[in-house]
Chains A and B, each alone.
Chain A
Amino acid sequence: MSLIAEIARRRIRRNASASFLHSAALFCSSGTLTLLVIFQVQVNDSLRGVTAGLPLGDFMEQLRSSVTLTAVFLTVLTVLTVKIFSDMRFSEIRQSLAVLTSLGATGWQKSKMLLVDILVLYVPPVLLGTAAGLLAAALAGTGLSENTRGVEPGLYFATWPFLSGILIVTDSALYFNFLFAF
């Protein structure tokens, strides 16, 4: 195996835990955001329906505002984390390219390393984590709605923020671990 390929292989191994944590954190973030969106849609439907004008309606309005605020906060947190991950990744790439250039690496040799970095270390954690989170939350949201038909509305609506809360706490823990691991 050439040393360039060896550098890429060892870099993947060295960054495996950070990439996994990043992916898991994005899974939780996109999952939570999806759940919150589904929840918000249901609250909106509910406000137009049976709870409109009842005392529960005020509670639902407050809940809707808190959910929006949480979603915005979570989006900002996710964007910032992706940015930090990208900055770290690209600063490492720039440094490696500078070293290889000073040693006389060819454009192809540098491109090979750059491609491995982007295609293996950077893109998959972001894409897989986000896509899996969206899909899992969409399935969980649909399942939750179908399996809780007939449950008392207050209890039903409380389930969602509770579930999202667990995901947000997990998410924060993962981000913390990710930054620490990197």
Chain B
Amino acid sequence: MTGANISDSSLLMASSLVVISLLFSYFQKLRLEKETLISVIRAVIQLFAVGYILQFIFGLHNSFVTSLIVLLMIFNASYNASKRGKGIQNGLLISFLSILAGTCATLLVLLLSGAIRYEANQIIPISGMIISNAMVAIGLCYRQLKSNFKSRKVEVETKLSLGADILPASMDILRDSIRTGMLPTIDSTKTLGIVSLPGMMTGLILAGESPLTAIRFQILVSFMLLSTTAISSFMACFLSYRKFFNKRKQLI
């Protein structure tokens, strides 16, 4: 197996691709030169930093540090997701618990099945995929919850007036929001390999793995993303719908 190895000089030469983009921007008066440059420099610095940090952490072989990093990633993701759910009380805590539950459940199955081992170089990248997927799913759930409780206000109030408690009055909205959170993952799972060769699979192939090994990993990833989005969306919706009602069980 010989993987593609990128030397510094080839990286430097490849940077001419950025110049093409800059020239385009300049001659077409897109006024994107400054932004392009900043984004490229930022990306390079960020990635090198992450590369060195990961190299360091992988070398530590310390499962406590690994767990800490995963928790930090979950916190970051929850913070981002809760911004989508602005106005939802305890959005940060709810997001944190939902992503944590989704991540733990999925990691546990993967670990118990022997698919991965609790080592930094396996846990951190896998958690990264799980957590970012859960973050996107929860963000979608929040948006859908908020817009549904607004646009279907009279429906909810009618159900309340019939004597329904807040859960049955919100059930249809909850279902719809959880579906919204899960659909992108299901859709992309459907088209895997046909429309897109996912980044992870591409990465493995580039690194010299056989496509047959790569697809095995990809199948594993698809399974875990499905379970994570399901768990996280479900939890986030069921933990947050109460916040749309007051103590007198009126829709706010």
A binds B: no
Q: Residues of B at under 8 Å CB distance from A? A: none
